Amino acid sequence: MRILHFLTISVAGLFLIGCKSPYLARENRPITYTINAGLPEDTSIVSYYAPFKTAMESEMNRQIGFSERFLNKSRTEPEFLVGNFFADALLEIGKKIDPTVEMSFSTKGGIRSELQQGSVTVGSIFELMPFENTITILEIKGSDLLILADFIASTGGQPIGGFSIMIKDDHLESIRLHGKTIDPEKSYKLVTYDYLANGGDNVKGLSNPLKRINTPILVREGLIEYVEQLTKENKKINTQLDGRIAIIK
């Protein structure tokens, strides 16, 4: 019986080998579809997303404030208007969370657009900060603050609020907080956002905080609320250059 079973399987195997298999690989030929304005709209898809598109455009175009001047962005200047606006707003956001926050810090690369003179909309703020970064408050030693200040100096200046820096030959010449020098042994509270607190943009001085508060507040949400509050107080954005970062020769 075992021999007969073996022969049956063998004959069946030979039969299958001799047959033309319907599962042989076939040549895959690419099909090219041309997408252009000549294609008819799929009305079912358009009708599905149209309400969402309308609602989104309405929100993005909603005016929340007014800027008295054009706030420029610069990669080369140590201090620029939209950087000061951003840092000042960040500082106010931080103080609402913890009134003892004294400083704010961002980077030039984190600010993605300029702010036009005139109407400020929700869309304007999205363009300024399109990322999902969240507000972070750090308590750091004075010695680490000096390291951060030296990083700011070595990179030609970065957006800061609440303190001032003087730079000479790409090195920190001096730093002042409320007109006073920094005590390396004291602790200071600074508001920034999670990307930088995690070491983004190769920032130095923030990696070993004494305390860290992570919040769920998106930076752009905080910025929108900041501008809306100015409007409620009948104020316009009137950012100035004030010498908070200066390069001396």
Domains of the chain: 57-247 (3.90.780.10)
- Residue 26: per-residue pLDDT: 61
Residues 238, 249: Cα–Cα separation, whole Å? 30
Helix (H, G, I), strand (E, B) or coil at 99: coil
Percent of the chain with pLDDT over 70: 86
| Pure H helices in the chain | 2-18, 43-60, 81-97, 122-128, 142-154, 194-197, 219-232
Residues 182, 142: Cα–Cα separation, whole Å? 6
- Residue 249: per-residue pLDDT: 86
Residues 225, 9: Cα–Cα separation, whole Å? 78
Residue 25, both tokens: 């690989």
- Residue 3: per-residue pLDDT: 39
> 80 Cβ partners below 8 Å, 6+ apart?
72, 73, 74, 241
* pLDDT band (50, 70, 90) for residue 24: low
Averaged pLDDT for residues 43-47 = 73
Indicate left, alpha or beta for 162 from its phi (over 0: left) and psi (-120 to 50: alpha).
left
Q: Which of 32-41, 45-54, 122-131, 144-153 has the lowest mean pLDDT?
A: 45-54
Bigger pLDDT: 23 vs 7: 23
Indicate left, alpha or beta for 201 from its phi (over 0: left) and psi (-120 to 50: alpha).
left
Residue 106, both tokens: 């961002």
- Residue 2: per-residue pLDDT: 41
Residues 132, 221: Cα–Cα separation, whole Å? 10
Residues 164, 67: Cα–Cα separation, whole Å? 24
Residues 191, 90: Cα–Cα separation, whole Å? 7
- Residue 6: per-residue pLDDT: 40
Averaged pLDDT for residues 186-197 = 98
CB 203 within 8 A of CB 148: yes
Helix (H, G, I), strand (E, B) or coil at 119: strand
Q: pLDDT tens for residues 66-83?
A: 999 999 999 999 999 999
pLDDT value at 190 more than 80 = yes
Residues 78, 243: Cα–Cα separation, whole Å? 9
Place of tokens 């790409």: 170
Average pLDDT, the chain: 89
- Residue 25: per-residue pLDDT: 55
Q: pLDDT tens for residues 160-188?
A: 999 999 999 999 999 999 999 999 999 99
The residue type found at 98 is: D
CB 147 within 8 A of CB 205: yes
